[in-house]
Structure 1
Amino acid sequence: MNLRPKLRSPPAASLPHSTKPTPIKMPSKSLLRPTLVLASFLSLLAFYSFVLHTPPNNRSATSIDAALGNRNALSLHRADKVKIYMYDLPRRFTYGVIESYAAARGGEPVADDALLKYPGNQHSAEWYLFSDMNRPSEERIDSAVTRVTDPEEADLFYVPFFSSLSLVANPVRSAAANATSDKTVYSDEQTQEALMDWLEEQKYWKKNNGWDHVFICQDPNALYKVIDRVKNGVLLVSDFGRLARNQASLVKDVILPYSHRINTFKGDVGLDNRKSLLFFMGNRYRKEGGKIRDLLFQLLENEEGVIIKHGAQSRESRRAATQGMHTSKFCLHPAGDTPSACRLFDAIVSLCVPVIVSDYIELPFEDVIDYRKIAIFVDSTSATKPGHLVKLLRKLSPEKILKFQKELQKVKRYFEYEDPNGTVKEIWRQVSQKLPLIKLMSNRDQRIVLRDLAEPDCSCICSNQTGISTTL
């Protein structure tokens, strides 16, 4: 019986005006008052018993209902995920690349692929994505994609070729050394061709003309030999520096961050230990757009508070770079051979405000990161005017620099490949957002009349050179 309506009623003693007087005998009136008082007491006792001592069975039922609700919501969430089928490629395209890289550097063969170690480098996104796809599904609940083992269920197909490592599998050697060596030399070009020969025989590659396939080619030269054969797919790249307008675009492809090479800064925001104004350490002499580096060296190397050093990749250089970035307010990011370079991401995880001097740079995850809040952008023409750059930086107040640092603190997880809530998770989210376009292009391919055009028909895909971002 529900006692709540009765408990909401005031006690009878408070309602004399609403009760019509009835003549009664004195003995009966004396018995009525104790009865009403006792009834009120019992009602209050029942109320507190109900509120404070809800039976365990009722609490359990509530918990079970909530758990079932959460489980149903989770099932619906999983149903909404983009389904990815990862090809089980022949070994030569994955672990075989690692093995060839190690062998070229004097490494000993190993009996178990699990013992092979992917070498740490700035292009290791291909390893992190491959490893993530191989994790148990229960460890990837928050991912925007889910791996399926039946290709018939797949929305997208991931091709996990270690293309960047393949590019550098052999150490740099002279032409004479290559000619006289009796060892089998690993060939990246042959490996790329072999990959495409294998892939183009696959049923699901042919089905949609490759539009629903995902390739990682983070090094600017990765897959260069076969890029025209994979250009329909979703390309995971660091920038568009070596790609033509009909090969890549912001609409169909995903920009990845390089894996940072220096240690993440573990401290909090602050300027007390950041005595240097501006820091840069890297190769002074680069090609193409990177030629600006030499000009910046000439302008900045004698400026007070500026540390600018020439240095190649090495363990010692990384230690020096870590120290420099962790103790500087600003970190210079000039273009390399292509518009982007790993030092931008080194600076971000160091809470060292990036100063970006690169006119055609594309940046990762711009739908969730406003880079104006974490970096300073200076065009090349202004940056190479004597005194302009340091004057600009010295004008910024400590409060403004701290504001930059706080924003860097918020977003740096997006650039941590080993963070479960970091880079890999975000890459898959970006890939999942390409699915509507992929379906559009696949359907369009099925019905379009083929034409003999002098130029590729790219009218439906934005150029990577126009500077205009097109969204679906």
Structure 2
Amino acid sequence: MILCICGLRRLMQLRVHYRNNWNPYFLLFAQSVILLFVFFTSFVLWSEILLTNEANIVKEFQLKTEGTPKEIHNCSLELYCDCNTTQGCPYHDWELFSVDYQEMIKKLKIFVYPENDNSSPLARIFLPHPNLMDPKIGNYFSEHAFKIALVDSSLVTANPEEAHFFYMPFSINVMRNHPHVHSESAISKFVANYVTRISSRLPFWNASGGADHFFVCCHSVGRDAASLHFGLRNNAIQITCSSNYFQRLFSAHKDIALPQIWPRPHDESLNPPNARNKLAFFAGRVQNSAIRQELLNLWVNDTSFSIFSGPPSFPYEEGFRTSKYCLHVKGYEVNTARVMDAIHFGCIPVLISNYYDLPFANVLDWSKFSIIVNQRDIALLKHILTSVSEQMYTSLYRNLVMVRKHFRWHTVPVDYDAFYMTVYELWRRRGLLRIRTL
């Protein structure tokens, strides 16, 4: 022990002696070598992290979509699957959903507020659209289709005392094209005045504070329609195509995502997977979307993609029929009709739109018939799509065919169609509490 202590003291004396005689440039050189070593090591580690992250993203996607092949083949396109035993099924729990759905069909009642003055120049704001196939409806088809289907359904009651919900039948789309009420501010005032009027004439709004009342809109202007009325904004249910988690007047716990569906005939025969020779298709404006511009920059010259800024060089529908994947990329809103167009034509939707509250997501497992890509991972898009095995793609396609019926409107509603799926989301919200004013 004494020898060790003496040895340490001698080493310390030598260290002080030589430090006093060191050249300062030698010290600076040593520090530079150390810094270069740290930089090189950090660069190598960071490269490994980036490669690992890319591999993890692809692996995570594969785990979400892969399922168990033997179980996937037990699914029939004609019959619904039992989601408790079949991983390939596109439903979270088909058995639970179907039981609750049948109870809804037996019990749900909706009261439609009447508009008695049909001679008013504003009367058509509340009436069903006279021609659902009017090409001017376009992107706002779902708003009008819901109203027509509801009027012709067995869910409507003339007795408000037995109603679970109350429908306020004003149309944002009609207002937007009305000469007396077309500006955003005028629409907000009209809607606020309407709610004040029905709440003063009938007791049902005040009984719940509006928590059992709902309106339907598919126009982007509709997102601010409720802004001037506290109860409508905070309590009433908004059934909307613009279902964005970051939209200030959309609340996912009470509001409902409405599928934005373009009016198309239902008898579309689908191209099978082996007849789809393009990897992915997108056509649309890029001026209002940074993520679309990035998509264009990355993939417009890739021959496996069909990417267009604006209309394609061939019929628009052909892009959906001949492609394996169809891209839904966020534009001005999180939603577009491209998602439902892809489902209609049997093209697997690729959703690149953060914060989109997908329609019927409480019932349907979107990961089983679509591919969801975070906007920040768009540079990995081709890698993600080409990593899908043929078996996985077949599973996605079979499930897509199975869910198509949920995204169709009928003038007289049909079981499990878009109308009944939407009112099922209403049914799930029965008994919601209101926010009281101070």
Give me the TM-score of the superposition, normalised by structure 1.
0.62
- The structure, 1 or 2, with the larger RCO (C-alpha pairs under 8 Å, 6+ apart) is 2
Q: Does 1:417 align with 2:409?
A: yes
Within 5 A, what are the aligned runs for 1:33-432? 80-89=106-115, 91=118, 96-97=124-125, 119-135=136-152, 140=154, 146-169=155-178, 186-187=182-183, 189-202=185-198, 203=202, 204-222=204-222, 224-229=224-229, 230-231=232-233, 232-241=235-244, 244-245=247-248, 247-260=249-262, 266-268=268-270, 270-286=272-288, 290-311=289-310, 320-383=315-378, 385=379, 388-418=380-410, 420-421=414-415, 422-432=417-427
**Structure ID, larger Rg:** 1
Change (3 A) 1:380 1:432: same
Structure 1 equivalent of residue 73 of structure 2:
none
Q: Deviations over 1:184-213 (max 9, x none)?
A: 785564354234323313222233221111
One-letter code aligned to 1:430: E
Distance 1:199-1:381 versus aligned 2 partners, 3 A rule: closer
Whether the aligned pair in 1 keeps the contact of 2:139 and 2:262 (CA below 8 Å) is: yes
Give the SS at the match of 1:157.
Answer: strand
Aligned identity (percent) is: 23
Q: Give yes or no for contact 1:93–1:162 (8 Å, CA) kept in 2.
A: no
Cα distance in 2 between the residues matched to 1:263 and 1:212: 34
Letter in 2 for 1:215: F
Q: Which amino acid aligns with 1:155?
A: H
- AA aligned to 2:112 is M
Which secondary structure does the structure 2 equivalent of 1:227 belong to? coil
Relative to 1, partners in 2 of residues 1:302 and 1:265: Cα closer, same or farther, differing over 3 Å? farther
Tell whether the 8 Å contact from 1:262 to 1:318 is kept in structure 2 after alignment: no
Alignment deviations for residues 115-137 of structure 1 (CA, whole Å, 9 cap, x no partner)? 797543122222112112321x5
Q: Measured at CA, do residues 97 and 243 of structure 1 come closer, stay the same or move farther in structure 2, by a change above 3 Å?
A: farther
- For 1:117 and 1:347, locate their aligned partners in 2 and report how far apart those are by CA, in whole Å: 20
**Partner-residue secondary structure (3-state), 1:200:** helix
Farther-moved stretch of structure 1 (354-363 vs 217-226): 217-226
Q: Secondary structure at the match of 1:266?
A: coil
Tell me by how many angstroms 1:278 deviates. Answer: 0.7
Distance 1:121 1:405, change over 3 A: same
How many residue pairs match? The answer is: 324
CA contact (8 A) 1:262 1:321 kept: no
Structure 1: unaligned runs, 5 residues or longer: 1-75, 100-111, 141-145, 171-183, 452-472
Distance in 1, matches of 2:122 and 2:346, equals 35
Classify the secondary structure of the residue corresponding to 1:236: strand
Partner letter of residue 279 of structure 1? F
Question: Is the contact made by 1:274 and 1:327 (CA closer than 8 Å) also made in structure 2?
Answer: yes
Q: Report the aligned-residue RMSD.
A: 3.2
CA distance in 2, matches of 1:215, 1:322: 32
Unpaired runs of at least 5, structure 2: 1-101
Conserved 8 A contact 1:414-1:423: yes
Q: TM-score, normalised by structure 2?
A: 0.66
